[in-house]
Amino acid sequence: MSEIIKAYRYALDPTPAQVEILHRYATASRCGFNFALGMKVAVYDHWRRGRDRLIAEGMDKAEANKRAPKIRVPNRNRTQAYWRETRGQGFIGPLPEGQEPREPFAWWEGVNNRAYYTAFEDADTAWKNWLDSLAGRRPAMGFPKFKRRGQARESFRIVHSLKNPDIRFEGPRRLRIPGGGGQPAFTVRLHQSPRGLTQLIEADDAIITSVTVARDGHRWHASVLARVTQQLPDKPTHRQQAAGRIGIDLGVKSALVLSDPLVLHQGADPVLTVDNPRLLANTARKLARAQRVMSRRFVKGAAQQSKGYQEAKAKVAKLHAQLAARRATTQHLLTKRLVQQYSEIALETLNTKGMTRSAKGTADRPGRNVRQKAGLNRAILDVGFAEIHRQLEYKARWHAVTIARVPTFFPSSKSCHRCGWVDTDQTLADRTFHCQACGTIIDRDANAAHNIKIHATPVQP
């Protein structure tokens, strides 16, 4: 038996009064995040001013980075303690001498404290991700951003307490969300039946660990995370073993190119390529049109934008949400089918450091990105590919699948997968691989997928 974390997502049908509560929670979560991030930024700025003084005095930057007096950036626990102490005040920070507290923050009332605690945690994660990206452990990213009202996605997360299991399903289609801050708990109607999960909970095979409620476009969703106890297979099925290994390449034309056929939908023909739904022309056109309408209705310098503008903005948000949902569905279906149908999956090793760098690459490494795969928005595709890798890694366990990899910068599209002959003059324009040694003629990306299949070595989970 193994324990795995699974997410169950349900659309919500809240009453108008409940929508108000959800907005309040989301606002609390956003302000909590900004509160925590604000504390980190203040400490960081203090350190940076100290360092800049040293640089101004003539020290070089690397030395100044080391010498500037270090201050611990407050983590979630310190943020929480400080928040408890100051939340009744009308401002953030210690009370200046001789000043009376003003009105308390409106945002801390009527909300379960845990919605704040998770927001503080999220600020920790955002900060850590930024530090990791500076150290090259993650794709490059900008300084963590404050969540702006009306722009940030509305969402909040509540961690489940095992001692007091107050997040639960009630009746056939309701989810109970704990109250707090003087407000009672409330139960929201679900659009889909949660039966799959409730049956596992009743059989003691699942425990809810947290619930995230978010608004995507026009609709609120709850994503319930549960720790599910499940019997995992110790070896692949006969069908998987018979299929063996599949190689996957990130292609130029199609998002993914496979070395072997994959059945995506039951009864449908197997496919050898999978398109990226982000690039679907139809939705892209609709989105472009909606964005034009939105910018046409935007009045520069206006204190408040028109109703027409708000409508156009909502339309754009809805299309984005639809696109994201469709992309997520495609990715999940694809990774599910791969682990169901093959016993080994061969992939490239992602170069996370170079991932969001422009296709130009760097001066000392012009990058295979330019030569091989220019002309597409690499960052977008790579991020999608990273998500597919992530899903394959955890879903592999569910079906006893082995993941195999070829090293980063492995020249997968330059050598013949049949005989190993290397085409040294290959250019990006060469869509077809033509082997001068054995005469093989094959689509360039398909050849790459075969090479990945052949040359990958299994990695220990």
For Zn ion, the binding residues (CB under 5 A) are 416, 418-419, 421, 435, 437-438, 440
Alpha carbons 129 and 141: distance in angstroms, whole number: 8
407: part of which helix (H) or strand (E)?
A: none
Q: Is residue 198 within 8 Å of 10, Cβ to Cβ?
A: no
Instruction: Name the minimum Å distance from CB 434 to Zn ion.
Output: 9
Length of the chain: 461
Alpha carbons 25 and 321: distance in angstroms, whole number: 21
Nearer to Zn ion, 233 or 439 (CB): 439
Instruction: Name the minimum Å distance from CB 415 to Zn ion.
Output: 8
Nearer to Zn ion, 33 or 433 (CB): 433
**Which amino acid is it at 120?**
F
Nearer to Zn ion, 128 or 418 (CB): 418
Nearest to 34 by CA among 81, 83, 90: 83
- Phi and psi (nearest 5°) for 101? -60, 140
246: part of which helix (H) or strand (E)?
A: strand 245-250
Alpha-carbon radius of gyration of the chain:
26
Dihedral, CA of residue 52, residue 56, residue 59 and residue 61, to nearest 10: 40
Instruction: Name the minimum Å distance from CB 52 to Zn ion.
Output: 59
Nearer to Zn ion, 407 or 420 (CB): 420
**Percentages of the chain per state (helix, strand, coil), in multiples of 5:** 40, 20, 40
Q: Is residue 229 within 8 Å of 3, Cβ to Cβ?
A: yes
Instruction: Name the minimum Å distance from CB 414 to Zn ion.
Output: 12
Nearer to Zn ion, 29 or 447 (CB): 447
Q: Is residue 416 within 8 Å of 437, Cβ to Cβ?
A: yes
Question: Residue 332 is encoded by which pair of tokens?
Answer: 């999940």
Nearer to Zn ion, 121 or 423 (CB): 423
Instruction: Name the minimum Å distance from CB 148 to Zn ion.
Output: 56
Instruction: Name the minimum Å distance from CB 443 to Zn ion.
Output: 14
Instruction: Name the minimum Å distance from CB 272 to Zn ion.
Output: 20
**Which amino acid is it at 31?**
C
Nearer to Zn ion, 172 or 439 (CB): 439
Instruction: Name the minimum Å distance from CB 419 to Zn ion.
Output: 3
Nearer to Zn ion, 95 or 437 (CB): 437
Nearer to Zn ion, 27 or 440 (CB): 440
Instruction: Name the minimum Å distance from CB 451 to Zn ion.
Output: 11
Beta strands in 181-243, from DSSP E residues, in sequence order: 186-190, 206-216, 219-230
Alpha carbons 424 and 421: distance in angstroms, whole number: 9
What residue spans of 140-280 are helical by DSSP H? Answer: 195-202, 238-243
